[in-house]
Amino acid sequence: MKKSLKKYVLTTILLCSVLQILPAENRPRITIIATGGTIAGISSSPTEASYDPARLSVEVLMEQVPALNDVAQINGFQLCNVASQHMTTAIWIRLASVIDSLFSNGQCDGIVVTHGTDTMEETAFFLDLVLPHQNPVILTGAMRPSNGLGADGPANLFNAVCLAADSAAHGRGVMAVMNDYIFAAAEFTKTHTVNPQAFESPDHGPIGVIRGGKPVFFRSPRPVHTVHSRFSIRQLQQIVLPRVEVVLSYAGASSIPVEALIENGVEGIVVAGVGHGNYSLDIEKSIDRAVRCGVFVVRGSRVLRGGVTFGVESLSDSQIVSGFLSPQKARILLMLALTRYNTVEQVGELFGRYR
């Protein structure tokens, strides 16, 4: 070996070990699946509050953070480009199928999904319930558009790729990374409409943080997820998910929404009740009718912490409780439950395991 080449190789090895950078071909293979959201949004000026979400392509998101290439071998895949208030169950099924085939065919080691923040927690929970893989799947996004002052997207994307590339992330279920915090899919929710510190796990706290590109885990997520879940995307391919809707209770809430849902033939209703899953007299009457019509009802709460557990106030045998799942997450579990089970006992037992 020529002296100058030898020196170059030795210096590179030394630098890589000091900076903990692996040679390119040894870095984990991470696929970034882009779905839209504010992380791909653009405003007319850096100080303008309003903006268009879901405008940039995955290639542009990757170009904005060259340091991703020091962490992993990166590939991009544009699944869709939507604001996440427009997310649908059909997109969830496509997303889960793409992830399943990338892992099953050995095409990547970890996945980052960029996503709007409005429904990120729902997509994360759906994936957590149906992906039969131990490999990391990390959702991330941004609260500020890509060209906004103090845009948070690039740092979130970098952290998410670092987490997806880290062996410590294996077997922990689907996670989200926002503003340096790591959250378990079943546990987190959006708690601020505009601030970059927008996510929390109200009852459980984050499962870790990212520091200097390395995850520090405080604890494991709850045990029922991914490979331990009773559902698999492979069994959902030809299925239209059952129709399940959420109804909000409040002082004086009428029976109109529940009656309309019964007339429209929904298969399930989650009530986002007040307090410990309670609801108005009118809702109670219409819910009793829904149950008699064969609609599955889950009693949840609009309150951020504490969940709805068994045995408080008037809870009839014909109702299932959400546990620590938010109403929007209980809806997802009920949709999946109704693809497999048809008795209240079975669905109730399932919620007991997943809450």
For tokens 């209703």, what's the residue?
Answer: 269
For tokens 């809870």, what's the residue?
Answer: 315
For tokens 């391919």, what's the residue?
Answer: 237
What is the total count of residues that contact ligand GLU (CB under 6 A)?
12
Which DSSP helix (H) or strand (E) runs through 209? strand 208-211
Q: Which stretch binds ligand GLU (CB under 6 A): 30-38, 155-163, 218-226, 324-332?
A: 30-38
Measured from the CB of residue 143, what is the shortest distance to ligand GLU in angstroms?
5
| Between 142 and 236, CB nearer to ligand GLU | 142
Q: Closest-CB residue for ligand GLU?
A: 116
State the binding string over 107-126 for ligand GLU (x if CB under 6 A, else -).
---------xxx--------
Measured from the CB of residue 116, what is the shortest distance to ligand GLU in angstroms?
2
Measured from the CB of residue 156, what is the shortest distance to ligand GLU in angstroms?
11
Give the residue among 70, 75, 156, 141 at the shortest CA–CA distance from 108: 75
What is the Cα–Cα distance from 74 to 128, expressed in whole angstroms?
23
Catalytic member of 35, 38, 119, 226: 38
Q: Which stretch binds ligand GLU (CB under 6 A): 33-41, 160-168, 273-281, 307-315?
A: 33-41
Contact residue for ligand GLU among 28, 37, 196, 221 (CB under 6 A): 37
What is the Cα–Cα distance from 172 to 305, expressed in whole angstroms?
23
Q: Are 121 and 177 in contact (CB under 8 A)?
A: no
- For ligand GLU, the binding residues in 46-75 under the rule CB under 6 A are 53
Contact residue for ligand GLU among 65, 102, 143, 271 (CB under 6 A): 143
Q: Are 247 and 283 in contact (CB under 8 A)?
A: yes
Q: Is 89 a catalytic residue?
A: no
Check binding of 85 to ligand GLU (CB under 6 A).
yes
Check binding of 76 to ligand GLU (CB under 6 A).
no
The number of angstroms, rounded, from the C-alpha of 268 to the middle of its chain's C-alpha atoms is 22
Residue 90 neighbours by CB under 8 Å, 6+ apart:
none
Which DSSP helix (H) or strand (E) runs through 154? helix 153-164
Check binding of 141 to ligand GLU (CB under 6 A).
yes
Contact residue for ligand GLU among 31, 43, 84, 278 (CB under 6 A): 84
How far separated are the first and last CA of the chain, in Å rounded?
Answer: 62
| Between 116 and 221, CB nearer to ligand GLU | 116
Residue 260 neighbours by CB under 8 Å, 6+ apart:
none
Q: Which residues are catalytic?
A: 38
Q: Which positions lie near ligand GLU, rule CB under 6 A?
A: 36-38, 53, 83-85, 116-118, 141, 143
